[in-house]
A and B are shown apart, each in its own frame.
Chain A
């Protein structure tokens, strides 16, 4: 009966295919000592030079940071800073910075805020992108509450807390008593200027309530030209952030004394935030941050160390691979 079943059995067999029989041609790598050591070596050979290059690039960047929020409050008002900042007193504050190393133009001027949570969920949502883009959508102020309309129902353009809290400290720079002009054009991203902020949208009813949150806007300029606003409205990711204020387009020599005249208007005192003025150059890797260089070198060094360690182990204990006496359930 086996013979008579033979042809019938074969005719019921499904057609063979490599895919259904799970016999596809396959690459079956295994972590041999050769692979392990060479991977670690390659990583270290690639990382350490990159780290050194990054570190040099970062060292090349010259950065001057000046924290001014406490110093720019006159001594007699220091025990009630909030009252000072909200009061009518003159807010001019003069600071001096010394350039330690030659700074090639363009030198970027930033303001840095610490402890300002631009990434708070309610804050981030408090804007109306439609309104910013189109003049005819000026009434769509839905997400902007409570900074959406004036008490008599007129829409605020631009609405929302982000715009309302616009940073309004200003800086006037001079070198050796000569004024340094700050170019405030081109400080925002092009896509924001051209596609998110409309050319025909003008500020209306802005910052005219009882509670002033920040700066005023020139109502004769369309939003696409209000670069300070555009920069401010591109919210930062972290509570310590810098935003571009402008660029200085002359070289600053070592030893130059830069006088800064700050209008210290912005209230960070209610929440004990910090304000800093930063002058920095930039190169292909951005601004000054040693972390990248150090981290690259560290990881490269760690991998090199691991390569050495593994080489030693493989040399000292050349165990025959495939030896099952090392199976965990045999070792008890």
Chain B
């Protein structure tokens, strides 16, 4: 009851081998008949499990707790019984296996993992938890009184049990968000870049001539677009840790895979292709075949290539600035710095002798910087490529907000500190998901 695994109002299903007949069999003289005990015990366990299952299906709106001890677990984990045990356990809000051996802990974890195909997390602090920690998808070890064995065999180590809350709700949520954003964005920026090259191939009879100078392409993912992605994947936050803890339902975004669904992935990919289309066709239409500068010289391969690449670098970095809602000094330096690095690179590379810089020799200083058409084309292409996403984002933030957006709005309007409002938000955001939800929300409000 201390940790709210069991609460008032929960129905309990207790599976033990304490029934009189089994005790009598165990105490039989002259020697206990092992086979008979085993048979009777197994039958008893199966009966209790079946009875529990019937109860659960009868009282569908109640929360159940299953309590089973180590001796019964031996029989419950046998191959022909384990499915019944798992079905009952999954239908209960809490399952308490007491007096179980390390091997049983591991077996129960494996059963849940393979039976429900969901991600399992195990937490423990002693050497007897090692099997369980290794078996689960995520093993959390607590370092402390019982030594370091649990920590050494775990995926994540914390110092106290209560840190688990922060680990899941804050860091778990942030990590999920960061990784899914990073992967989607990575696809986006490479599609935006690669499709301009692909479209250009249609104009070169698919001979394989790239639209850009070789070193431009090699350094795209190294210098000009890598730092913002790193900032996204390491530092991004949608809401601060205070709100992550205040609104635990935010964690459901990860459980229900809202940020990495196929719809979102394909949406970002489509954004990349659309961006590349706009950049390529607008640049090409705007810059050829007429004269490019005041002296009437036309725009040739180095000029069109460098202009298109400039547009790509700007669009991809500004897209990052539009997509994130958390700007520290790091994000600013990385995003604007990446764009600056492109210009610096163009200057430095263009200054190298033509034997090294080939088509990029002096391209910025001589042909791009002094010509108004370069700035006109770049500015126009960059803004046009971003307008669709900006419009989409405005509509989505306003009319189809995700849970973290709702919290951001509340923070923006100053309602996040109003306890009644927060409570209303929390209650109304609880949907029909998994069993145990009422328990968690009660626990939350109790501790508040």
- Interface residues in chain A, defined as those with a beta carbon under 8 Å from any beta carbon in chain B: 12, 22-33, 36, 39, 43, 47, 50, 54, 61, 63, 106, 108, 110, 112, 117-122, 124, 129-130, 133, 186-187, 189-191, 195-196, 234-244, 247, 280, 282-289, 291-292, 295-296, 299, 302-303, 306, 310, 314, 319, 321-330, 332
Contacts and interface: CB of A to CB of B under 8 A. Distances in A.
B297 interface: yes
B377 to A, nearest CB: 7
Interface string B261-289: 00000000000000000000010111011
B39 interface: no
A108 B209 contact: no
B298 interface: yes
A22 B256 contact: no
Contacts of B383: 43, 47, 299
B223 interface: no
A1 B200 CA distance: 73
B128 interface: no
30 contacts: A22-B241, A28-B326, A36-B390, A108-B291, A119-B207, A119-B301, A129-B358, A133-B355, A187-B297, A190-B366, A191-B366, A195-B361, A234-B301, A236-B298, A237-B211, A237-B301, A237-B303, A242-B289, A244-B296, A280-B296, A282-B293, A284-B372, A285-B373, A286-B371, A314-B398, A321-B409, A324-B428, A324-B429, A327-B406, A327-B431
B437 interface: no
A248 B387 CA distance: 43
A26 B429 contact: no
B380 A296 contact: yes
B288 A237 contact: yes
Contact of A120 (B204, B400, B411, B429): B204
A322 B413 contact: yes
B398 A31 contact: yes
A63 B290 CA distance: 10
A122 B207 contact: yes
Nearest to B297: A244
> Which of A54, A241, A287 has its CB near the most chain B CB atoms (within 10 A)?
A287
Given A106-B296, A324-B428, A30 B328 contact: no
Nearest to A119: B204
Interface string B299-325: 111111100000000000000000001
A33 B398 contact: yes
Contacts of A314: 398
Nearest to B292: A286
Contacts of A191: 361-362, 366
Contact of B387 (A43, A189, A285): A43
Contact of A238 (B203, B235, B295, B366): B203
B116 interface: no
Contacts of B401: 326-327
B288 A238 contact: yes
Contacts of B203: 119, 237-239
B412 interface: yes
Given A12-B159, A234-B302, A237-B284, 17 more contacts: A27-B326, A30-B397, A47-B380, A50-B376, A120-B204, A189-B367, A190-B366, A191-B362, A195-B353, A196-B354, A237-B305, A238-B289, A244-B296, A285-B376, A286-B296, A288-B290, A322-B413
B336 interface: no
Contacts of B433: 329
B285 A322 contact: no
Contacts of B167: none
Nearest to B412: A30
B403 A327 contact: yes
B380 A292 contact: yes
B240 interface: yes
Contacts of B207: 117, 119-122
B208 to A, nearest CB: 5
A26 B327 contact: yes
Interface of B: 159, 203-205, 207-209, 211, 235, 237, 240-241, 252, 256, 258, 282, 284-286, 288-305, 325-330, 353-355, 358, 361-362, 366-367, 371-373, 376-377, 380, 383-384, 387, 390-391, 393-394, 397-403, 405-413, 415, 425, 428-429, 431, 433
B380 A322 contact: no
Nearest to A32: B412
A30 B409 contact: yes
A240 B294 CA distance: 21
Contacts of A330: 428-429, 431
Given A32-B412, A120-B209, A247-B296, A238 B284 contact: yes
Contact of B327 (A22, A29, A39, A236): A29
B290 A306 contact: no
Contacts of B371: 286
Nearest to A122: B207
Contacts of B393: 31
Given A23-B240, A238-B203, A280-B290, A39 B390 contact: yes
Nearest to B295: A282
A219 B93 CA distance: 93
7 A-B pairs with the lowest CB-CB distances in the bound complex, closest first: A287-B290, A287-B291, A108-B296, A121-B209, A322-B409, A121-B207, A237-B304
Contact of A36 (B302, B303, B305, B394): B394
Nearest to B429: A324
Contacts of B373: 285-286, 292
B327 to A, nearest CB: 4
Given A235-B300, A237-B304, A292-B380, A328 B204 contact: no
Given A119-B209, A295-B384, A326-B399, A241 B354 contact: no
A186 B295 CA distance: 9
B330 A24 contact: yes
A117 B204 contact: yes
Nearest to B373: A286
A96 B175 CA distance: 72
Contacts of A133: 354-355
Contact of A242 (B252, B298, B398): B298
A130 B355 contact: yes
Contacts of A306: 387, 391
